[in-house]
Chain A
Amino acid sequence: MAMTTTGSKKKGLNIYTRQRLWGLSFVLPAFIFFAIFAFYPMINALFISFTDYTLMNEPNFVGWENYARMLTDARFKIMINNTLGFVIGSTIPTILISLGLALVLQRNFIGRDFLRTLYFLPIVFSGVVVSIVWRLLYHPQGLINTLLDPIIQSTPRWITDSDVAPWALIILNIWQSVGFYMVIFIAGLQNIPDDFYDAARVDGANSAQSFWYITLPLLKPTTLLVTVISIINFFQTFTYQYVMTKGGPSDATNVISLYIYLNAFQYQYMGYASAMSIVMFLFIMTLTLIQFRFVRTEDITYV
């Protein structure tokens, strides 16, 4: 009703049309932005993946050659293995630790907020800083080996031993990620109404039982969500590997993102890099679609 008072006085356009034009003009800049910086690049990546483009030459169509190359490229297989190892090796401990932290830190006790802050703190550090600091921690004479020295016989060569280096990166990743997922778990736990626990207590359930029959089942959507997000995030890992190990020793910590970067900007194989990035996109897209499903179940409130 208020709208009719101002609507009709300009240019004869009726109020609804004017409102529509306003709305459209508010979202159109964003759409143009995404068209230039997301949709067009995505289509172009698909196009380049079928060419031999190197930034210097005109792209020539090469059919499925770049995709076929992935199947025969021994290094690509190593990258996939390393990436999956990193994802699996990181995801499981990260979820267990962050869930454990959330279960304790959602309770009320003195110093709780301080502990939460400490566990959360690594998030604010950039991947570059974290990699540099941990490279020093992992140094043969660094703090970790200094502390381990009295306990174990031969201290590991964290970064230079190709069997240990992948674990060194996983440990660092867990250290930096746990706080993030802890916060999501705490939010999930707080969504479970107290009434459920009260009811269980009235029925004589002990705390182990209420954890098993109330907390875990109702936390399932959160857990699935955290699993998918962490897989998506960890799959794209780049900075730790680039800064700390440069993928070495001899590709032991090289991962798919780093390999795409190297192919595109060091070896100038834009076509091959794009083909790999398309495969990566399909993988991430599938996971994101799964994630969107979980978000919907997440929104269900317990009446």
Chain B
Amino acid sequence: MSKRDTESRSDSPERTRKWAIAPSKMLIYLTMALGALVFFLPIFYMLTGSLKQSSDIFKVPFQWIPSPFVPENYTEAMKVAPFGRYFLNSLIVGVFTTLLNVFFSALTGYGFAKYNFWGKKFLFIAILSTLMIPFQAIMVPLYIIVRDFSWLNSYLGLIIPWSLSAFGVFLMRQFILSIPNELMDAARIDGDSELGIFWHVILPLSKTPLVTLAIFTFLDSWNNLLWPLIIITKPEMRTVSLGLTEFQTLHGTSYNLLMAGSTVATIPILILFIFLQRYFIRGVVLSGLKG
């Protein structure tokens, strides 16, 4: 009662002050806006560069708006390197890695959250402990395994080693713990099996963490360079990241084409970001908690 009282009293002077911002604050906001512009500049540079004539890229003074406008850079880049194929490869690898990781992380998280069994604590800690392993530490043996499975230059090789993440298991377990057991019991009364409960009760209730995990799995898969670099030697199996890297090595000075390729490589993630920004932010906060 008294709190509301003081609030309403302080409300009116606050309102009149709203438009008369102190100069120091003004300066802060101005710096922020300017900083944001600087932050956006590289992205702007990429987009405009992809639409410029090659000779206009280094034009002085700097050409802020491309003229002439050259959308042909995109078709030209496709001609020089099979970006369409790279794109398709990345899409296939990204989608399957994401589906597998999301499904198995949820299933494993469900097992850990809702069941008791012998060795549960040990298994959980064992899985969690893999978070401590940097990829570089196991990349040589992982390469050997994939080679022995004959998975070099294959989708399986690109997908399977990334099809489950300890972070995903941890994330899903934490969330599923918060789902009340009563909901599961209700499904049991209706004759649902344990796997049926997972499918009909747990998964529909876990949409937020599932989408968050899906986005980050896809992002990691799409952006990964080191792993494709190691196991892919056939040009037609290159992912976008690898294809773009190789393209730079071969055509390092075709800047307009490089910018076009870079833009194409960014589009899927950018679309995801525009529609699912909320989940990106959530994912960052969560990954901050796990690392």
Contacts from A to B (Cβ < 8 Å): 1-3, 5-6, 19-27, 29-31, 33-34, 36-42, 44-45, 48, 55, 101, 104-105, 109, 111, 115, 117-130, 132-137, 139, 141-143, 146-147, 175, 180, 183-184, 187, 225-226, 228-229, 232, 236, 238-239, 242-243, 256-257, 260-261, 264-265, 270, 273-274, 277-278, 280-281, 284-285, 288-289, 291, 295, 298
Contact = CB atoms under 8 A, between A and B. Distances in A.
A243 B127 CA distance: 33
B133 interface: yes
Given A24-B117, A30-B104, A137-B45, A126 B138 contact: no
A264 B291 contact: no
Interface in B183-239: 185-186, 188-189, 191, 194-195, 198, 219, 222-223, 225-226, 229-230
Summarize B's interface: helix, strand, loop or mixed: helix
A56 B214 CA distance: 39
A105 B136 CA distance: 36
Contacts of A228: 291
A36 B161 CA distance: 9
Which 4 pairs from chain A and chain B are nearest by CB? A23-B115, A26-B111, A41-B141, A126-B223
Interface residues of B, number: 99
A87 B223 CA distance: 21
A31 B123 contact: yes
Nearest to A236: B134
A278 B58 CA distance: 45
A6 B28 CA distance: 65
B275 interface: no
B230 A134 contact: no
B259 A136 contact: yes
A289 B42 CA distance: 36
B134 to A, nearest CB: 5
Given A23-B111, A34-B164, 13 more contacts: A1-B185, A19-B116, A26-B107, A30-B108, A31-B123, A31-B126, A33-B164, A127-B241, A128-B265, A183-B288, A184-B288, A280-B134, A291-B291
Contact of A280 (B111, B137, B269): B137
Contacts of A127: 223, 225, 241
Contacts of A37: 142, 145, 160-161, 164
A136 B112 CA distance: 49
Summarize A's interface: helix, strand, loop or mixed: helix
Interface string B164-177: 10100100000000
Contacts of B241: 126-128
A253 B145 CA distance: 31
B88 interface: no
B258 interface: yes
Given A124-B270, A265-B230, A277 B36 contact: no
Nearest to A4: B188
B32 A260 contact: no
Nearest to A229: B291
B138 A118 contact: no
Contacts of A285: 132-133
Interface in B249-267: 255, 258-259, 261-262, 265-266
A299 B219 CA distance: 27
8 contacts: A26-B198, A27-B111, A36-B145, A45-B137, A225-B288, A226-B288, A236-B136, A265-B143
B44 to A, nearest CB: 9
B225 to A, nearest CB: 5
A23 B140 contact: no
Given A3-B185, A44-B141, A264-B139, A146 B60 contact: yes
Contacts of A48: 140-141
B281 A183 contact: yes
A128 B223 contact: yes
A226 to B, nearest CB: 7
B219 to A, nearest CB: 7
A189 to B, nearest CB: 12
A37 B105 CA distance: 15
A124 B280 contact: yes
Nearest to B112: A27
Interface centre among A45, A128, A180, A291 (most CB of B within 10 A): A128
A229 B288 contact: yes
Contact of B108 (A26, A39, A183, A242): A26
Contact of A277 (B61, B140, B189, B288): B140
A273 B143 CA distance: 13
Nearest to A45: B141
Interface in B36-90: 36, 39-43, 45-46, 49, 57-58, 60-62
A289 B132 contact: yes
B226 A133 contact: no
B136 A280 contact: yes
A169 B141 CA distance: 30
B258 to A, nearest CB: 6
